[in-house]
Structure 1
């Protein structure tokens, strides 16, 4: 008998698959031992036959060795390649499509427990339905691919145009900065020429003054010798018109006033203000470091020295407040705020980078601004405010400006008078520069290398006030 004809006889009616360890029951029907055990009711008593419903006792189970051997032989024959269109498990024609497992199955598979709850459809209907869906999907994917290829072409076009724009922009930058370099070089030469002209004029004036003084000295020497000889002459010779030499001596006057030489040509670089603004930072006053006489407003950007001049020591000159004030001896204990000098620090702590801020004077009284180390709040002698103790600052008023250094420096008159100063700290270069915030003119530069931490520094004379303008650009 062919294997196909034995399919039904060698199949368990419970699992619809080849017998596994077949057993016979009292009515003569055969089942897999495992399938039969799973169909028993709890309790272990008599059970009905799954086919004829005749009762049978569990003790009546007998192994069917002949059926087991025949099933094994048939199974071995079917271990070869499965013919197309047949179920690899039951060797039946694939006539159904299981929607849950998404694969074709045979009629025997449909009756098995594995597929009893699954949705089935005739294989030709499933083929037509899924073929239509796949064709629709193919059309949709083709449209998407065309769109993606179009976008890719646009992206390539945009990238090419962008590269060209970048190339042109780079060329424009080079051309514009070349013009700027040329312009700055011309400006540099112009300022150097002005400086050279001023130097020549000053030297000429110096030479004229030196010649004038030399002539005066020579004339005085001659008169001294003449007066000396006249005074030693005999009586009759001395009385020969003595009034002439006396008159000439009285008329000989040293009519000369020494002039303090200053450099009038100011270093004013075009666009300096704009370049400095790129590094502008917001600076606020640290009120907890301030002298008790200082009062604040505008969210820590405005400060005024509330003490009148009468409450501070008097000085002999406008700059005496900085250079001549002597306070009690310096204490050695650590302090958290200024106790002796009308100073205050900024909240900022600079450890690296470039930083720029501006300070505006609200009156014509003296104020000093700059940077300092954090450990200078115990200073008690204002004449010591200098780089030597860790303060790099300039002091200014309507009378002019001067750097705070160890020795006395005459103030430099500024026209028009300074009312706003810019402070630029280049921490890596170790430079602190001061500029007129109005026109960007350079005022002074300190060198302070190897200082790790620096803070903004402010000093105010009696009744003086200052404000830190709000930042409108920069960092």
Structure 2
């Protein structure tokens, strides 16, 4: 009996329309082999489906005409209905209570179970609502038909939405690809302008140095000739020669000391901020020289830090490491150094340094950017590296980008959206840790803190 029920269920699926989920009514079969009610297929095409396309597989029919009613399938549907009805009657006739061996005559609405007459007399069903099996089944079928009508409506809506998704009114792929293409062209134009500006400034710098060298050479020849002049002639021209010499020598600083130029890169800082990480400073670094804040987000020079050596920035006890170490991925963090005239930022590998001899330089396994104040000028220097350039003024916020796999470490002037310096490539073999150095302090100046900017902060 169970096998027959399964076969009958399979037969029911074969004679059921996939659109309305009911038995076929005037079934028609498309060229691809799928069948539907004639009215359902017609309504599906009217709702906007591409003409002569199958609602099931979406294939377009090569035959440009509405399919005819499938008479054989209509007959099979009638047979299937009759079989299902007979099977339902036979099943109802054989159903009986296992406990009392009586036929199920009533249905308990509260427990949703069929009952025989003797089951109804038990106290557990005394206060329950009971209905004849036929009446309960009729009510259930009405409910199912109501639900089925709603499902059919939602199914049609889903079909319509699916068709709209397959044939969207707006081609977003094309539009978004066009915007990215426009952005690529914009960045390429910006890159070309920036590189052109760099070449022009390099030529201008070379011309300035050439002119300065020529001025020095001319002055040297003039002074050499003056040395061979008679005493009175020499003394007569001495004031003019000394003034000219002083003027030429005063141009040396501008001609020789390079200035770090700013080349803003549109969108770079915004892109890097996708990789921002929440960093905290190691509280164990606190000592008389440096003080770490309670929230582990800032550090400043302590009152006990006295500048006594020629290179106070190399003092091991004056720098602070982050609590985090990185050995993969991409990380970006920003540091506010507005109130610090001198500072050092970068990364270090403490484990490598511990393996070296004690007399090795503290920064032998580090990559650093250093800001130094000399008189009224600020200089940015790298260790290791060749950067030693003047800047127009202090850099208020520095962005640090680390990409472990490619061995990249870059520093950015966040306010100007420009690159300061990039180390590349670095062969990382062990985890590295961010480094913070709030000094050395300048005599007579009270330096402020070096502060990690919040992950969600923006200028």
Query: Once the 2 structures are TM-superposed, how far is the Cα of residue 372 of structure 1 from its aligned partner?
Result: 1.1
Q: Aligned in 2, Cα 1:119/1:321: closer, same or farther, shift over 3 Å?
A: closer
Question: Could you tell me which residue of structure 1 aligns to residue 194 of structure 2?
Answer: 191
Question: Could you tell me which residue of structure 2 aligns to residue 442 of structure 1?
Answer: 419
Asked if structure 2 preserves the Cα contact closer than 8 Å seen for 1:372 and 1:456, the reply is: yes
1:457 aligns with one of 410, 421, 435: 435
Asked if structure 2 preserves the Cα contact closer than 8 Å seen for 1:394 and 1:402, the reply is: yes
Question: Could you tell me which residue of structure 2 aligns to residue 392 of structure 1?
Answer: 367
Query: Once the 2 structures are TM-superposed, how far is the Cα of residue 263 of structure 1 from its aligned partner?
Result: 5.1
Separation (CA, whole Å) in 1 of partners of 2:133 and 2:264: 82
Q: Does 1:313 align with 2:308?
A: yes
Between 243-252 and 131-140, report the one with greater CA deviation: 243-252
Separation (CA, whole Å) in 1 of partners of 2:385 and 2:358: 14
Superposed CA deviations along residues 397-451 of structure 1, whole A, max 9, x for unmatched, are: 55434344257864x3333421211111111211111111212211111232233
Separation (CA, whole Å) in 2 of partners of 1:120 and 1:308: 94
Q: Aligned in 2, Cα 1:454/1:264: closer, same or farther, shift over 3 Å?
A: closer
Question: Could you tell me which residue of structure 2 aligns to residue 27 of structure 1?
Answer: none
Separation (CA, whole Å) in 2 of partners of 1:287 and 1:271: 35
Alignment of structure 1 residues 70-89 onto 2, 5 Å:
none
Query: Once the 2 structures are TM-superposed, how far is the Cα of residue 148 of structure 1 from its aligned partner?
Result: 2.0
Q: Secondary structure at the match of 1:364?
A: coil
Separation (CA, whole Å) in 1 of partners of 2:234 and 2:220: 17
Count residues with an aligned counterpart: 330
Unmatched 5+ residue regions in structure 2? 1-91, 104-114, 122-130
Q: Does 1:294 align with 2:294?
A: no
Separation (CA, whole Å) in 2 of partners of 1:147 and 1:314: 86
Question: Could you tell me which residue of structure 1 aligns to residue 342 of structure 2?
Answer: 366
Superposed CA deviations along residues 225-244 of structure 1, whole A, max 9, x for unmatched, are: xx3xx8xxxxxxxxxx8744
Separation (CA, whole Å) in 2 of partners of 1:278 and 1:394: 23
RMSD, aligned CA: 4.0
Q: Secondary structure at the match of 1:145?
A: helix
Q: Does 1:303 align with 2:287?
A: no
Unmatched 5+ residue regions in structure 1? 1-93, 106-114, 122-127, 231-240, 328-339
Separation (CA, whole Å) in 1 of partners of 2:237 and 2:323: 70
Q: Secondary structure at the match of 2:171?
A: helix
TM score, norm. by length of structure 1: 0.59
Q: Aligned in 2, Cα 1:129/1:409: closer, same or farther, shift over 3 Å?
A: closer
Larger Rg, first or second structure (1 or 2) = 1
Asked if structure 2 preserves the Cα contact closer than 8 Å seen for 1:364 and 1:397, the reply is: no
Asked if structure 2 preserves the Cα contact closer than 8 Å seen for 1:372 and 1:392, the reply is: yes
Separation (CA, whole Å) in 1 of partners of 2:345 and 2:357: 18
1:256 aligns with one of 243, 248, 253: 248
2:269 aligns with one of 270, 273, 286: 273
Asked if structure 2 preserves the Cα contact closer than 8 Å seen for 1:397 and 1:418, the reply is: no
Q: Aligned in 2, Cα 1:404/1:383: closer, same or farther, shift over 3 Å?
A: farther
